[in-house]
Structure 1
Amino acid sequence: MFQSTKQTAQTANLTAGGHALPADWLGRIVLIWSGYAVSMFAGNAASYAGIWYATETTGSPLSLALLYVLAFLPMGLLSPFGGVVADKLNRKVIIVVCDALMALTSLALAAWTFIAGPSFAAVALYCAAFGFVSGFRTPAYNATMPLLVPECHLVRINSMDTLLGSISMIAGPALGILLYTSFGLQYVLILGGFGAAAAGVTMLLAVIPRDHGAHEQAGAWASLKEGASTLASQRGLLVLTIGVSLGMLAYGPIDSLMPLMVYDHFGGDGFAASLVAAVMGAGLLVGSVILMAVNPRRKLARIIVVSAFVVGTGALIAGLIPKGGYWAFVVCIGVLAIACAWFNAPLMTLLQKNIPDEKLGRVMGLFTAMNGLAIPAGTALGGLIAEVTGTPLFFQIDGVFILLLAVSIAISKSVRKLDAASSDHPTVEQTL
C-alpha cells in the first residue's frame, strides 16, 4: 500500500507524457486556453453567421451539407499527415502557423465580401480554410497537452475543449446573427480573423517542451502506418475510436440540419435557430462542468456508452416532436447536448494515457482523420436522406442508428476489458 502511495506521489511530479511537470504548468494552460477561448468564440460566431446565410439564401439540406463537407473533409484527409508532422517538428510552431493562416484567410475573405458582397462561395471558402488548418493544428494541439498536464487532471483539461466550445456555442451564434443582420457577413469574418490571431499570439507566448520526436527518421507513409499499427494493437481503444467516429458520422447531419429543422419544420427565424444553438452550448457546458467536477479516472469507456444511449434517444424523440412543439425540441436538444459532452474527453484521455508520447501525434492524427472523414460523409449522406424523407424523419432514423451503435460498443469484450484494466491502477485516494 505504501509503495503504491510512493509511486503515485512520484507520478504526480510528471506530466501525462512522462516529462518533468513544470512548476507553472497551470499558468501555461491558462495562457493557451485564454487565446483558444477567444478563437473558438469568434470562429463559432463567424461559422454560424455563414450557415444561417446559406440557410436563408438556399434553404437546401444539400447546401448546408456541402459546407460541413468542406469544413471537415480536408481535416479528415490531412490529419494523418498532420499527426506525422506533429511527431517530427515543433508542435508549437505548427499551431502558431495554422492560427496565422486562418487569421489571414478570414481577413482576406472579409475584404472580398466588402468589395463583391456576401456570397455562398465566400462562406464555402471559409469552411474549407478551417478544414485545411484543422488537419494540422488539431493533432499537434492534442499531442501537446500531455506534455504540460499531470495525468490526474487529463480528463479535466480535455473537458475544457468541450467547456469552451459550449460557452462559445451559447453566445457565438447570437453574436454572429446580430452582426450578420445588423452589419453584414464581412464583419463576422473580421471577428473570426481576430479570434484566430489571438490564439496564435497566446500560443507563441507559451513555453512548450520540445523533446519529442527528435529521433523519428522514418518517412511520412511509414510513420503513418506505424501510428495505425499502434492503435490497432490495443483492441479496446480501436473499438472505441471506431465507435466514436461512427457516432460522429451520425451526429454530423443532426448538427448541420438543426437550423433547417427550426426554419422549415417549426417556422422559426434566425434568432430561434440561434437559441437552439445556444441551448446546445448550454447543455455541453453543463455536461462539461459535471465531467470536470467528477473528474472520472476509471470506467471511462462506460461513460461513452451511456452518452451514446442518451444522444440516440434524444435524436429519436426530437424527430417525433410535431410542428407546434418548438420548445419541446429546445428542451430535447439541451438534454442531448449534456450527453454529447461526455464523448470526447474520456476517449482523448484513454488515448493520451495509453499511447507513447513519441507516437501520440500520429495516433491523434488518425483519430482526427476518422472523425474528420466521418462528419462530412455522414453530413452528405444525411443531407441526401433528408431531401427524400424530410428532416424530422431523418432525426428519427439517425437516433435509432446511434442507439444500435451504443449497444454494439456496450457488448464488446475488449471495451469492457479496457475499463477493467483502468480499475487495476489505484488512485491516490484508494492507496491512502
Structure 2
Amino acid sequence: MTDGKDSWKAKLACVWGGELVSVLTSSILQMGFVWHITLTTNSASMLSLASLAGFLPLALFGTFAGAVVDRLPLRVTLVGADLFIAAVSAVVAVVSLTGALPVWVVMAALFVRAIGSSLHTPAFQALTPLVAPAEHLTRLAGVTQAVQSGGYILGTAIAAVIYPLWGLTAMIALDVAGALIATAAVLVARLNVGGAGQGTQAGEKDLGLAAQARALAAETADGYRVLRGYRGLFALLWCGFAFTLVFSPISALFPLMTLDHFGGTTGDAATAEIVFSVGMIAGSALLTATGGLKNRALTVVAATALYGVATLAAGLLDAGGFVAFLAMSFLMGLSSPFYSGPQTALMQEKVPPEYLGRVFGLYGAIMSWALPLGLAFSSVFADAVGAPAWFVGAGAAMALLAGVTWSIPAIRRIEE
C-alpha cells in the first residue's frame, strides 16, 4: 500500500501543498460570492438560500459520490473534480464580464461547484491511508485539518483586501488558478492508488443507464454494510450526527452572542470568529505533534466534553464577559481537530481501501443532513429563548453526549 520509505511523504506534501492553494483561493471566492449576494440583495433569506445551495449537493450526491471515487484511480477523481470546479468558475467569470452578475448565476455556481466538492472530499480523505503507513494516520489527520483551516482563514482575510480593490472577477480568476495549481500538484505527485472497482466498471460498459445506476446503488449499499460491520465506527458515526445537530446552530449564533448579549461591534464578532479559527489551528498542530490519547475514541469523547463545557460556560457569562467568551471560543476551536481527526484516522485505518470512498461519502452525506436540521430547529426556538440560553442548553447536551458516547461498549473497545 505504501511505495517507498520516504516517497509517501513527498507525495502527500506535494498534494497537500496544492490543496492549501486550492482551499485558499476557493475561500476567497466563497467570501466574494457572499458579499456579492449581500450587496446585491441585502437579504438574509438569500444568504440562507446560498448556504443551502452550497451544502445540498453534498447531502444529495455525497452518498453515491463515494462509489464513483472507489471505481476510479484517485488522481483521476482529484484532477477531474478540480478541473470541473475551475470550469464552473470560468463560466461565472465570462458572465460577469458581460455586465452585472445576476444572483441566480451565483446560486447556480455554488450548487454546481458543490457537486465537484462531493467527489473531491471523499477522494482527498481516502488518499492518506492508501499512501502513508497506518501508524502515522492520526498525526496526518491533524496536518490535513491545519491545511484546510489555515487555507480558509487566510482566504477570508485576503478576500477582504481583494474584493474592494479588484472585485469578484479577480477572485474568480484566482480560484481558477488555484484549481489548476492543485491539479498540477496531483500530476507531479504521480499518484498510483485507488481504482479498486475498475474491473466492475469495465464489465458494466455495455449496460444501460438504468442498470449502471442500480449497480452504483448496490455498491453504495455495500459501503454502508461494511461501515455497519465495524460496530464502534458505526456508533461513532451516529454520535457524530447527534453532535452536529447540536453544534451547527452554535456557529450561526456566534455573531448574535457578540452583538446582542455582549453589546460588541462587528469587529468584535470578527475577532471571536478569528479566535475560534486560531484555536482550530492550534488544536491541529497539537494533534499532529502528539497524536492525541492512545485510545482515539477517548480522544473524541474528551473533545466532545471540552467543547460542551466551553459552550456551556460561554452561555453563562454576563454582558461584561466578552474577554472570557473569547477564551471559550479558543477552547471550542482547540477541541475541534481532536474530535474530527481521530475519527478520520480510525476510518482510514480500519476500512478496507476499496471501500474508503464510499464510507467517507456516506459519512459526509449524513453530516450534511445534520447541519440543516440543526439550523432549522434553532431558527424556530433560538429567537424565543435567546442565544445565551441556547449556548447553555447546547453545551449541556454536548457534555451529556460525551458520557453517552463513552458508555457504548463498541466505542470503548474500538482500538481492539
Does TM-score exceed 0.5, indicating one fold? yes
1:412 is aligned to: 408
Q: Per-residue displacement from partner, 1:121-165 (whole Å, max 9, x unpaired)?
A: 455344323421121111122122211111121112221221112
CA offsets 1:291-319 (integer angstroms, 9 cap, x no match)? 11112473000010111111122223333
In the alignment, what sits opposite 2:30?
47
Cα distance change of structure 1 residues 265 and 67 upon mapping to structure 2, 3 Å threshold: farther
Distance, in Å, in 1 between the alignment partners of 2:387 and 2:35 is 17
8 A Cα contact 1:169 1:280, kept in partner:
no
Structure 2: which 5+ residue stretches go unaligned? 205-214
1: distance between equivalents of 2:36 and 2:331? 27
Give the fraction of aligned pairs with identical amino acids, expressed as a percent: 28
In the other structure, the counterpart of 2:54 is: 71
Query: In the TM superposition, what is the alpha-carbon distance from 1:116 to its structure 2 partner?
Result: 4.7
SS in 2 for 1:208: coil
Alignment of 1:286-301 (within 5 A): 286-296=282-292, 298-301=294-297
Residue 300 (structure 2) pairs with residue 304 (structure 1): yes
Equivalent position of 2:273 in the other structure: 277
Alignment of 1:154 onto 2:147: no
Query: How far apart in 1 are the matches of 2:300 and 2:272?
Result: 24
Q: 1:142 and 1:348 mapped to 2: Cα distance? A: 8
Q: What is the Cα deviation at residue 251 of structure 1?
A: 2.5
Structure 2 length-normalised TM: 0.86
Can you give the 5+ residue segments of structure 1 that lack an aligned partner in the other structure?
1-17, 422-432
Q: In the alignment, which residue of structure 2 is the partner of 1:375? A: 371
Q: Is the 8 A contact 1:250 1:402 kept in 2?
A: yes
Query: Please, which of 65, 78, 84 is the counterpart of residue 82 of structure 1?
Result: 65
Alpha-carbon separation, structure 1, partners of 2:256 and 2:104: 20
1:214 pairs with 2:198: yes
Residue of structure 1 aligned with 2:188, choices 197, 205, 208: 205
Partner of 2:84: 101
Look up the match of 1:335.
Answer: 331
Relative to structure 1, the CA distance from residue 391 to residue 296 in structure 2 (aligned partners, 3 Å threshold; closer, same or farther) is closer
Aligned residue type for 1:213: G
Equivalenced residue count is: 402
Equivalences for residues 247-262 of structure 1 within 5 A? 247-259=243-255, 261-262=257-258
CA distance in 2, matches of 1:376, 1:126: 20
AA matched with 1:407: G
Q: Which amino acid in 2 is paired with 1:159?
A: G
Q: 1:368 to 1:263 in 2, by over 3 A?
A: same
In structure 2, how many angstroms separate the alpha carbons of the residues matched to 1:272 and 1:92? 43
Counterpart among 219, 223, 227 of residue 231 in structure 1? 227
Query: Taking structure 1 as reference, are residues 253 and 148 closer, same or farther at Cα in structure 2, changes over 3 Å only?
Result: same
SS at match of 1:298: coil
Cα gap change, 1:130 to 1:320, in 2 (>3 Å): farther
- The CA deviation string for residues 381-406 of structure 1, in whole angstroms up to 9 with x for no partner, is 33343344444443333323322222
Indicate how the Cα distance of structure 1 residues 69 and 322 shifts in structure 2: closer, same or farther if over 3 A, else same: farther
Distance 1:216 1:405, change over 3 A: farther
What's the counterpart of residue 315 of structure 1?
Answer: 311
Corresponding residue for residue 398 of structure 1: 394
Residues in 1 aligned to 2:38 and 2:390: alpha-carbon distance in whole angstroms = 18
Q: How far apart are the structure 1 equivalents of 2:366 and 2:406?
A: 21
Q: Structure 1, residues 70-96: CA drift from partner, whole Å, max 9, x if none?
A: 222211221221111111122211111
1:184–1:223 distance in 2 versus 1, CA, 3 Å: same
What's the counterpart of residue 16 of structure 2?
Answer: 33
Classify 1:321/1:171 alpha carbon distance in 2 versus 1 (closer, same or farther; 3 Å).
farther
1:67/1:381 CA distance change after superposition, 3 Å = farther
